[in-house]
Amino acid sequence: MSVRRTKFVQILFTVGRLLRVFCFNVGANANMAGQSIGRFQIIREIGRGAAAVVYEALDTRIGRAVALKVLAVGTGLTGAARREAIERFYREARAAGRLSHPNIAQIYDVGEDKDRHYIAMELCQGVSLRDVLRFEGRIAEARLKFIALQILNALEAAHAAGIVHRDIKPENIILGQKDLVKLTDFGIAKALGESTMTQTGVMLGTPAYMSPEQVLGKGVDARSDLFSLGAVLYECLSGRKAFEGESITEVTHKVAYEDPQPLKHVASPWSEIVMKLLAKNPSDRYRCATDVISDVRADRAPFQPQRTAQPSQQQVNQTVYAPDPSLASGYSSRQSQVQRCTSCGVVLSSNFLVCPNCGRPLRHFHAAEPRPSAVDIPNNLPWSIVVTVLCCVPFGIVSIVKAVEAQSKKDFGDYAAARAAYMQSRQWMWVAVVVGIIGWSLWFFISVLEFLISGQ
């Protein structure tokens, strides 16, 4: 049903575009039909923005239909502003030209003809996600999963190449037959590590889909695109924008400081995934597109660690978590001691399986096995060295290595691992002693035997 609906939307908007071309494209724009820019012959105009005009054109050299994006530099732009607009235009070509992915519109050529700068790219047949949302209102979750995975695959490829799109929005997502996705318009994309050309106070992007760090003028990375994708998915599921306002100032304020309204009537785990994508702090979002793909494919809610304030060092030394009564059965009274988490240093009851402060699994012992302490782990290194010199070098070296490991674990506070390493060191030391005794005994017996034979 969704495929039929998509085809209907495509036909509807194609007819609308044709009517717009034949009825409203007058003057200079209408006269562009039939003209050529370089080796490309213009057929019709298919899109227009503030910075460029997109035409359907024919590559006369190989007979291929392309989308020809021509920079629209106004007469009011001169000097540095004009150079920056041209450089930003070619930045799109460099960014998208580095990418090769089935869900990213491919760049064929870039050039200039009579001071007209152009980019020839793949002609994406279909309608934008904005057109679909305008017609259908919202998208079913099963269909959205298929669309979202394609967008995430495109972002994964772009981020792996060091490219941040910075303008993920429904207008730049094209849906073709069977909802095949093409991600377009890398016009303000930024290569990681590349210095930005944006002047102070100039905001690039669409405010309703920008990340908080974009709005506040901070540095952006791949997680900024994930926030923008979260805003797109929110609109697809709810039928409304995540951040709405009567002015750009109100919208940007909501993006930076206010959380969107919770998603209603949306099955899990979509609500959890979208809200994690829309986290204000980049460190609270997904690390990369790959992690989002994993959760979306598995229909799994993202892991949300319990964020508790880290106690200061003075508090750590004095804080003791009470044992869980449900875990107390089966443990001897001697085990009702405290233990220190080797990850965050917090002091816990011995009955805890997991540290409640950092979530690190804790070691546990059988009730009949006493918990080791520092006193139970003497330094076996001197004896290991003596045995190595006097008895057997190979086994003695193993004993030395285990003794050093035991001391390292002991200094770190992991007494259980230190105790185990100490016992292994002792075992190898006694093996070396036994081998040494046997070796010395054989040497003594052979020496006595040679003495007796030579005396005769």
User: What pLDDT does residue 225 have?
Assistant: 95
Among 57-61, 234-238, 398-402, name the one with the lowest average pLDDT: 398-402
Per the DSSP assignment, residues forming a β-bridge with 340 are: 347
| Distances in whole angstroms, Cα of residue 217 to Cα of each of 204, 205, 210, 224, 226 | 10, 12, 11, 12, 17
pLDDT of residue 158 exceeding 70, the answer is yes
pLDDT of residue 437 exceeding 70, the answer is yes
User: What pLDDT does residue 364 have?
Assistant: 44
Among 4-13, 176-185, 227-236, 424-433, name the one with the lowest average pLDDT: 4-13
The residue written with tokens 């562009």 in the block is 32
Q: How far apart, in whole angstroms, are the C-alpha atoms of residue 342 and residue 238?
A: 45
Among 57-71, 273-287, 324-338, 402-416, name the one with the lowest average pLDDT: 324-338
Among 247, 207, 244, smallest CA distance to 227 is for 207
Contact 95, 106 (CB under 8 A): no
Average pLDDT over residues 14-37: 56
% pLDDT > 90, the chain: 30
Mode of pairing for the β-strands spanning 173-175 and 181-183: antiparallel
**pLDDT tier at 415, thresholds 50, 70, 90:** low
**pLDDT tier at 196, thresholds 50, 70, 90:** very low
**pLDDT tier at 383, thresholds 50, 70, 90:** confident
As a three-state string, the secondary structure of the chain is CHHHHHHHHHHHHHHHHHHHHHHHCCCHHHHCCCCEECCEEEEEEEEECCCEEEEEEEECCCCEEEEEEEECCCCCCCHHHHHHHHHHHHHHHHHHHCCCCCCECCEEEEEEECCEEEEEEECCCCEEHHHHHHHHCCCCHHHHHHHHHHHHHHHHHHHHCCEECCCCCHHHEEECHHHCEEECCCCCCEECCCCCCCCCCCCCCCHHHCCHHHHCCCCCCHHHHHHHHHHHHHHHHHCCCCCCCCCHHHHHHHHHHCCCCCCCCCCCCHHHHHHHHCCCCHHHCCCCHHHHHHHHHCCCCCCCCCCCCCCCHHHHHHCEECCCHHHCCCCCHHHCCEEECCCCCCEEECCCCECCCCCCECCCCCCCCCCCCHHHCCCCHHHHHHHHHHCCHHHHHHHHHHHHHHHHHHHHCCHHHHHHHHHHHHHHHHHHHHHHHHHHHHHHHHHHHHHHHHHC
Average pLDDT over residues 3-20: 55
Fold for 126-191+204-304, please state it. Transferase(Phosphotransferase); domain 1 (1.10.510)
Side-chain-side CA neighbours of 65 within 13 Å: the count stands at 8
Q: How far apart, in whole angstroms, are the C-alpha atoms of residue 5 and residue 13?
A: 12
pLDDT of residue 144 exceeding 50, the answer is yes
Average pLDDT over residues 324-343: 46
Q: Could you give the angle at which helices 415-455 and 393-412 cross, rounded to 10 degrees?
A: 160
CA 130 to chain centre: 26
User: What pLDDT does residue 152 have?
Assistant: 96
> Radius of gyration (Cα) for the chain, nearest Å?
35
User: What pLDDT does residue 372 have?
Assistant: 52
% pLDDT > 70, the chain: 68
Among 171-175, 285-289, 378-382, name the one with the lowest average pLDDT: 378-382
Q: Is 75 left (phi over 0), alpha (psi -120 to 50) or beta?
A: alpha
pLDDT of residue 313 exceeding 70, the answer is no
pLDDT of residue 153 exceeding 50, the answer is yes
Among 244, 237, 318, 231, smallest CA distance to 277 is for 231
**pLDDT tier at 33, thresholds 50, 70, 90:** confident
Tens-digit pLDDT profile for residues 259-308: 999 998 888 889 999 999 999 999 999 999 999 999 999 998 887 665 54
Domain ranges across the chain: 32-123, 126-191+204-304, 316-370, 376-455
The residues, any chain, with a CB within 8 Å of residue 149's CB and separated by 6 or more, are 293, 296, 297
Side-chain-side CA neighbours of 26 within 13 Å: the count stands at 2
Highest mean pLDDT among 19-33, 243-257, 293-307, 337-351 belongs to 243-257
Candidate CATH numbers 3.40.50.920, 3.30.200.20, 3.30.460.10, 3.40.47.10; the one for domain 32-123 = 3.30.200.20
The pTM for the full model equals 0.58
> Annotated active-site positions, please?
167
pLDDT of residue 345 exceeding 80, the answer is no
**pLDDT tier at 59, thresholds 50, 70, 90:** very high
User: What pLDDT does residue 420 have?
Assistant: 80
Among 426, 367, 421, smallest CA distance to 395 is for 426
